[in-house]
Amino acid sequence: MNADRDFCLDQVKRLDALTHKPSTVPGWTELLNTLRASAHDNVHAKRIIDEWIEENTCCPTPRDIRDVALRTRQQSWTQPLSPACPVCSGIGWKVMVRRDREGNQVEGVTRCDCARKREATQQAARSQQPQDELALDHPSPLKNWSATVPCVHASKG
């Protein structure tokens, strides 16, 4: 499941409250497309923008959005994927047993097939979606946003 275009547009519009925002429609369009491509659903898209606004005063770059998306997606990995999965019980990891070089039995974990299938399905769906572009005649406040000085983002340690 992917994030809805209109929902993502509403989330991107929230960034207007920040400083150093894009001065052109293509700039805003890039933020919208990056959010849609990075968020796996509407809840995740909102979480990405919420976290950015909570921690920053200037508008994110597409790279910033991807970074926050990855960080917040990793946080959601602790939530069950498919509680009905008989192999992993919904955690997305399965135990595997193999023999080491000395012939001793060693246990480890690997991604469960249910998690791989879900990730592959989401990736396939994302690749088939057309990239959106904000129409210049679209009745949106994005069209009238003013130009600003680019923001230099400090990296977090």
The CA-based angle 46-32-153, given to 5 degrees, is 80
Give the Cα separation of 154 and 2 in Å (integer).
Answer: 30
| pLDDT value of residue 119 | 65
User: By C-alpha distance, which of 64, 50, 55 is closest to 22?
Assistant: 64
Give the Cα separation of 118 and 156 in Å (integer).
Answer: 31
Domain ranges of the chain: 5-144
| pLDDT value of residue 123 | 61
Assess contact for 35 and 12: CB atoms under 8 A.
yes
| pLDDT value of residue 42 | 87
| pLDDT value of residue 144 | 47
| pLDDT value of residue 28 | 94
Tens digits of pLDDT across the chain (157 residues): 578 899 999 999 999 999 999 999 999 999 999 999 999 888 899 999 999 999 999 999 999 999 999 888 765 544 545 566 788 777 777 888 888 889 888 888 787 877 666 666 666 665 555 554 444 444 444 544 444 444 445 445 4
Structure tokens at 61: 């770059």
